A and B are shown apart, each in its own frame.
Chain A
Amino acid sequence: MSFNPVLLSSATQVGANLEAWFAQGGGQGLRQALAAPQAIIPLLQEAGLRGMGGAGFPTHHKWARTAAQPAHLDKYAVCNGNEDEPGTFKDRVLLEKSPHQVIEGALIAATAIGANHVLLYVNPHQPESVASLRQAVQQWQTEPLLQELAALQDRPIDLRVVTSSGLYIGGEETAVIATIDGGFPFPHRKPPYPAECGVDNKPTLINNTETLAHVPHILRHGARWYQDLGIGSAVGTKLYSLSGDVLRPGLYELPMGTSLRKLIFEYGGGMLQNRPFKAVFTGGPSNTLLTEQHLDVALDFDSVRALGSSLGTGAMIVISEGTSIVRKVAEYVDFFAAGSCGQCPPCKTGTYQLARLLRRIDTGGGLHSDLRALESLCELLPGSGRCGLIDGAVTVVRSSLMQFKEDYQQQLID
């Protein structure tokens, strides 16, 4: 337990105070970046930084692709802080407690890819984050480092806060673009990828808040340092949003690759009231559930994926015996049904039907035919939407049906 956190270390928790941020070593990363812009992307590649917003996609790929676009074009670097998934609460903490860490990361990204627009896209339902970020951005406007970045590109830098619609779907990459363009957050199909055609049809880089927060530290301490933070083949640290039936829920920054057991029983203080462990919804509610046999899995992108699940945002919603799986699943599918943007009919009606059937079973009115209907919807629906929302909803239903079918059957009335 002697691990020293990076993103959540007490030194970085300076709020919107730029002086305090510089006093504890902030700004060094950006200074190094400005001194050698070409070295940034190779450094990230060497460090092995991956997207912390869910996909775990290598960060340098996206950056390189955007950087490769013609330099005379306007380019956008967007920090995605829309965070609205059940069980995930990491970005709001970063934005509220250490906004400069994130802003510096975004400015380094702008340096690397040549972006003259740096947009901080935040969820208006988190007023503390918005206020803290606005205050922080204000302080950067007169900061010489920002002028240096402008001089490097020979054009003014537009650094500002954009509030999102606050809707879940608005966190999807293409929906971010639609929102910033002034429209409803409708996702669209890829390609074209944002790197070529994003905000205002210009090359756009969209990174999760946590991903960007890691960047200044990597520049400051080097790739090797970052790699050594992880356990085994995993690199760096990860923010885990631990919630559900554990004694001490909360946000934990741990080495990437920490085992699920250690997270729950060591850091989380064990199960609430010592009830037996039943399952965990990993990475928010849109992934395959992990059960007791998976407790020793290393929580890094590859190990979790090997189990057919996904680390996602690092959210871990822990369920004990005594908590109803059907109810939880029904709750999350309700969330997806409410969050569906309605563009794609299979998603619009599919999430609604899934939610309706689950509610019926949960409230004691379910029949065997309802269960069969659920199963066939799980076959029909995947891949039928422009974005991954419907797939997420189906995954959680299918996984719970596979692993906890008795829980469903017990509640049927025929």
Chain B
Amino acid sequence: MSGIAYELALANLSRSDGMAPPAVDKTPLLHRYHPDYQEGTRTRLTIGANRGDECPTRLATLLQSNAQITDADLAGAPVINTEVLVIGGGGAGSAAALTAAEQGRRVILATKLRLGDSNTVMAEGGIQAAVGEDDSLQRHFEDTLRAGHLCADRTLVARLAESGPDCIRWLINRGMLFDLAEGTPVGGKLLRKKPGGATCARILSYHDYTGLELMRVLREAVELDDRIALWNRCPLVELLSDESGQCVGAVLYNLDWHGFILVRASRVILATGGAGRLHLNDFPTSNHYGATADGLVLAYRMGARLRELDSFQYHPTGLAWPSHLVGGLISEAARSAGAWLINGEGNRFVDELQPRDVVAAAILKECAEGRGVERDGNLGVFLDTPGLERRHPGILGERLVSLGHLAHRCGIDPTTEPMMVRPTLHYQNGGVEIDEHGATAIPGLYCAGEITGGIHGRNRMMGNALLEIIAFGRRAGQHAGATASPKPAPKVGLYHLYDWQRQIILSGLPAEVCGPCLFPDYGNFDLRRDLVLRASAPGAVQAMVAGMTPS
């Protein structure tokens, strides 16, 4: 694919007349250009609980992969006991850990990178909660269900909507700041904005970095809670099972001393997020470095059922230039403020306020048909920020602060030069099936956050992701905390793996493909190679382990 050279496209842009875009027929557009619908990009699963379902090929390969470790790798690995083990250092994991600890449980929160290295901090728009006097839980419920093409699980959506106001109160009590409506005194009303697809203003926010503010308070709370032992740089490599197939803990890999640790836990909560860094269909992603679907792969291997696994959200306005920032996200706020999308010929081609999937497909269509803009080998379309500034002087400086920062990192002045955008892999709509307590079908195993499915159906509304991680993180923490037992399971092992490996071989799948991948391919991380660096000094590991147990 090639496009119109950047300089020529710039010249076309300057002559742009800003004529209203043509109306598009959504269904054929989506079927032809949206990645979810493309032929030949999906694979049918042949083993596991979702046998017969389709999902993107790269994800299918991982879901049906073999374990990274064998039983012998665990020989000599230290074992640590806890009541609740939370995997994932984003918003959902933190909320779950805090709630479980509030019930007096000993909690370990393990995260692959560091606490807060997550997609939570990148959420710019805000968090939904029906707190306005003109709003209601019923409306929130209906809006969410409708936006998800009526595919969502109604019980889960009901729990999501009704948890909203309480979640906001919980966050405020922990010190989170929200923008207040203008003209109200301190302690006044929260500022509400209207998300796309909603019948009412329901987005609560803090500037355009709500997620960062949310994570700030959760991080402080987690680090200050001495019932929670925080393990940074300890990715999940495998879940532990007992003979009955119950989840009784996890195998973690400590990246600092290059060795495995076994955690025996009565309850395990997976909050490992989505799959953006698998770069499904070769798309760039807005996701953080750790989003490699580890939890999804391991839960599936243990027998959990997944849903809507072929449904992903591609955000229309990811950066398309410069190369090193490709995939980075420009908030929807730019388009809702009135910025236009312009192709290489200088024309608008889609109503910018259409749902994300439609706008994304329209951009891909322009690029595929040669009307994209090409710069340094990157293809995209213009997000016409200079035009926006001309129509609304001062708006970039006042309302779109993060966009200004991003443009600065791109080395351009957004008031005079347009940004280049193209769709970026943004969110995994489906995931592990859970009940209203976040429990999966596997006893002892819970999931919360982006890893789960059923809340957003086949399309997620803006602001529901932040609400979900708090609402279901707390629910999972609550239920796991209430049902955890202080007595560790007597028998822990990799019992579920044997049957899994038999299925792999008997169905002719390659047994040498291992998962989860832990880091993206370009991370150049190889578990086997890393293991060689294992700390060998006598007692060193023991000493380190001693400092890691929750009090």
Contact = CB atoms under 8 A, between A and B. Distances in A.
**Chains A and B bind each other:** yes
Given A364-B76, A413-B539, 5 more contacts: A273-B501, A327-B74, A362-B75, A410-B75, A414-B538
Interface in B279-316: none
Contacts of B79: 363
A248 B502 contact: yes
A139 interface: no
Interface stretch (A150-158, A317-325, A387-395): A317-325
- The 3 A-B residue pairs whose C-beta atoms are closest, nearest first, are A322-B70, A364-B76, A324-B75
A331 B493 contact: yes
Contacts of B49: none
A413 B502 contact: no
A364 B72 contact: no
A197 interface: no
A338 interface: yes
Contacts of B505: 247, 272-273
A365 interface: yes
Interface in B487-538: 490-491, 493, 498, 501-502, 505-506, 511, 538
A414 B540 CA distance: 11
Contacts of A324: 71-72, 74-75
Contacts of B542: 364-365, 413
Contact of A326 (B70, B75, B538, B541): B75
Contacts of A410: 75-76
Given A362-B75, A413-B538, A338 B490 contact: yes
Nearest to A322: B70
Contacts of A323: 70-72
B11 interface: no
Contact of A364 (B70, B490, B491, B541): B541
A399 interface: no
A189 B78 CA distance: 41
22 contacts: A247-B502, A272-B505, A322-B71, A322-B72, A323-B70, A323-B72, A324-B71, A324-B74, A327-B71, A327-B74, A327-B75, A361-B76, A362-B75, A362-B76, A363-B76, A363-B77, A363-B262, A364-B541, A407-B75, A413-B538, A413-B539, A413-B542
Interface in A100-139: none
Nearest to B542: A365
B538 A334 contact: no
Contacts of B71: 322-324, 327
A411 interface: yes
Interface residues of B, number: 24
Interface of B: 66, 70-72, 74-79, 262, 490-491, 493, 498, 501-502, 505-506, 511, 538-539, 541-542
Nearest to A411: B76
A364 B498 contact: no
A351 B66 CA distance: 36
Contacts of A247: 502, 505-506
Contacts of A411: 75-76
A317 B537 CA distance: 35
A245 interface: yes
Contacts of A249: 498, 502
B491 A334 contact: yes
B518 to A, nearest CB: 20
A272 B501 contact: yes
Contacts of A362: 75-76
A371 B66 CA distance: 34
Contact of B72 (A272, A273, A321): A321
Contacts of A244: 498
Nearest to A414: B538
Nearest to A335: B491
Nearest to A278: B72
Which of A273, A321, A363, A410 is the most central at the interface, judged by chain B CB atoms within 10 Å of its CB? A363
Contacts of A326: 75
B330 to A, nearest CB: 47
A130 to B, nearest CB: 18
Contacts of B490: 334, 338
Interface in A274-303: none
Contacts of A365: 78, 542
Interface string A173-214: 000000000000000000000000000000000000000000
B429 to A, nearest CB: 35
Given A272-B505, A322-B71, A334-B490, A245 B498 contact: yes
Nearest to B537: A413
Interface string A232-265: 0000000000001101110000000000000000
A337 B80 CA distance: 21
Contacts of A245: 498
Contacts of B498: 244-245, 249, 272
A364 B78 contact: yes
B511 A273 contact: yes
A150 B249 CA distance: 56
A386 B182 CA distance: 84
B332 to A, nearest CB: 48
Contacts of B502: 247-249, 272
Contacts of B491: 331, 334
Contacts of B72: 321-324
A127 to B, nearest CB: 14
A331 B505 CA distance: 27
Interface in A355-372: 361-365
Which of B70, B76, B79, B542 is the most central at the interface, judged by chain A CB atoms within 10 Å of its CB? B76
B357 to A, nearest CB: 42
A273 to B, nearest CB: 5
A272 B262 CA distance: 24
Interface in A398-414: 407, 410-411, 413-414
Nearest to A273: B511
Contacts of A414: 538
Which of A334, A362, A410, A411 is the most central at the interface, judged by chain B CB atoms within 10 Å of its CB? A362
Nearest to B539: A413
Contacts of B78: 363-365
Contacts of A248: 502
Interface string A14-27: 00000000000000
Contacts of A413: 538-539, 542
Nearest to B541: A364
Interface in A330-359: 331, 334, 338
A247 B508 CA distance: 12
Contacts of A363: 76-79, 262
Contacts of A327: 71, 74-75, 493
A26 B199 CA distance: 73
